[in-house]
Amino acid sequence: MAGLLATKPRVINVAALAEEALWQELELTPKPGLVDKNNNGSHRDMDHALFVRSIRPSRRGLRALTTRGVSLPCVPIASSSPCCAPSASPANRPCCAQPTG
């Protein structure tokens, strides 16, 4: 019997999703005060054409950041948080997950 879809791990290309989000952000018009197809909004240092030219070169950095992030171990959000107190039940200590990797 095959496992449930929800239990199968999926590889998520975070860098590609971030790039797609940049394209969607750029194409959304109108955006009062922000760069869009019609104007620069309040930005003197950015316009639509520059935004377009900046997305593709960002790919390399986005890939590097996501690769580095995936390689880091999982660590507690805040070890001094009350939810991390030894007396707190494990179900109430989501920020204290054991490091992985």
45, pLDDT greater than 60: yes
Closest CA to 22 of 64, 56, 60: 56
84, pLDDT greater than 60: no
Which pLDDT band, with edges at 50, 70 and 90, does 1 fall under? very low
Q: Residues 52, 88: contact at Cβ < 8 Å?
A: no
Any residues with CB less than 8 A from the CB of 36 and at least 6 apart, and which?
Answer: 26, 28, 29, 30, 48
Domain boundaries, the chain: 10-74
pLDDT digits (tens, 9 = 90+) for 3-31: 555 555 566 788 889 999 999 998 999 98
User: 49-76 b/e with 16+ CB inside 10 Å = b?
Assistant: eebeeebeeeeeebbeebeeeeeeeeeb
- pTM reported for the whole predicted model: 0.57
Least confident of 38-42, 48-52, 85-89: 85-89
